[in-house]
Amino acid sequence: MGCYHAEKFAARSDCRLAGVADIDPERAQALAQKLGCQAFSHYQDTFKHADAAVVSVPTERHHAVAGACLDAGLHVLVEKPIAVDLAQSDALIEMARKKKLVLQVGHVERYNAAFRALAARMQRPLLIDAERLSGFKRRGADVDVMLDLMIHDIDLCLALARSEVAGLSACGFRVLTQEIDIATARIEFADGCVANLSASRVSQAPVRKLRVFQPGLYVSADLQAGSLRYVGEAQGAITEREESHAGGDALASQAEAFVKSIQGASAAGVDGEGGRRALELALEVGRLVRERLRRFG
C-alpha cells in the first residue's frame, strides 16, 4: 500500500514527495528512483525533509510509527485501522490534538465516487446491507477479517446511519489462518436503522456491494465497478435509474483530502475520532465472534 500512496502524492502538483522509507533498502531505492525522490532505510531519517507522512506499515506498528511522526511535528495519514486497540488510538488522537496536527485515517472507501453519490441521496436509512469478499492475500493477514475488511463497511455504515449503536451480534470462523477469516455482524442503531455486514477473505471472486433502503428509495451499489441502481416510487409507479461512477480513483481523492486538510482548506475526511469509532465497533465484533467460538468450538 505504501507504494500506491507514494505514487498518488508524487503525481500531485500541490505537494512534493520528499522520500520513501522501507526496511528493504532495495525496494525503497527502486520506488524512489521511479518517483524521483529520496530513499531511506529508517523512517526517522525522513523527518527533517517532510511536513507530513503516510504511515503504511503492519497494524501493530501504527502506534509507534505514527506516534513518532506526530511527535516530530508531521501531519499523519495512517492506514486503517488507526491502531490495534483503543488506548493506542486515544494516544495518537491526543498527540495530534496537542500539537495541532492533522491525523487522518485511511478509510479509503469514503472517497469511492459511487459511495459518495449514494450517501448524498440518503436522508434516513432503514436497512443497510454490506457484502465484502476477497481472495486470500498475505497483506493484511496480520489482523482478523474484521480489522482487515469489515472495518471498511463498519465505517461506511457509521457514516450513513449517523446514530449511536444500540445493539450488536456477530459470528465468524477461522479458515486459512489462526485469525478469523470470515464473519457476519448485525448492527442495530438507536434510531431504528439496522445494518447487516458480511466479510470474507477466503472467497474466489472479489465483491464490494452495498445496499441501502430508506422510505421511498432503494439504492444498490457495486463499489468495485462504480455502479449505482436506484429504485423508487413516484405517483404509484416504480421507477428505476442507473448511474455509473466507474474510473474514479479513491486513493487519489484521499490524498487530495489529506493535502487540503493540511492546507486548512477542509477538515480531514476521516479523522482520528472517526477511525477510533470504526475500530471500537470492529473490536467488539471480534470479541463477540471469539466468545461464540469458545462456546461452540
> For the whole model, what pTM was predicted?
0.93
- For the chain, give the mean pLDDT: 94
- The predicted structure's pLDDT at residue 138: 64
- pLDDT classification of 296: cutoffs 50, 70, 90: confident
CB atoms within 10 A of CB 241: 10
For residue 167, give the C-alpha cell: 445493539
Topology annotation, domain 109-247+280-296: Dihydrodipicolinate Reductase; domain 2 (3.30.360)
Residues forming a β-bridge with 20: 39
- The predicted structure's pLDDT at residue 169: 98
- The predicted structure's pLDDT at residue 267: 78
The CATH number of domain 2-107+253-271, selected from 3.60.150.10, 3.90.1300.10, 3.40.50.720, 3.90.226.10: 3.40.50.720
What are 238-279's pLDDT values in tens digits?
999 999 998 889 999 999 999 999 998 877 779 999 999 999
- The predicted structure's pLDDT at residue 248: 87
Is the confidence at residue 121, as pLDDT, over 70?
yes
- The predicted structure's pLDDT at residue 204: 85
- The predicted structure's pLDDT at residue 146: 95
Is the confidence at residue 139, as pLDDT, over 90?
no
Q: How much of the chain, in percent, has pLDDT values that exceed 70?
A: 98
Query: What's the Rg (C-alpha) of the chain?
Result: 20
162 contacts 190 by C-beta, under 8 angstroms: no
- The predicted structure's pLDDT at residue 116: 96
Handedness of CA 219, 223, 279, 272 (dihedral sign): negative
In the chain, where are the structural domains located? Answer: 2-107+253-271, 109-247+280-296
Is the confidence at residue 141, as pLDDT, over 80?
no
SS3 of 268, please?
coil
Candidate from 97-106, 147-156, 204-213, 229-238 with smallest mean pLDDT: 229-238
193 contacts 128 by C-beta, under 8 angstroms: yes
- pLDDT classification of 297: cutoffs 50, 70, 90: low
What are 56-113's pLDDT values in tens digits?
999 999 999 999 999 999 999 999 999 999 999 999 999 999 999 999 999 999 999 9
Q: What's the average model confidence in pLDDT over 173-180?
A: 88
Handedness of CA 143, 145, 147, 152 (dihedral sign): positive
For residue 30, give the C-alpha cell: 527502486
| Angstrom distance (rounded) from CA 35 to CA 149 | 29
| Angstrom distance (rounded) from CA 148 to CA 130 | 15
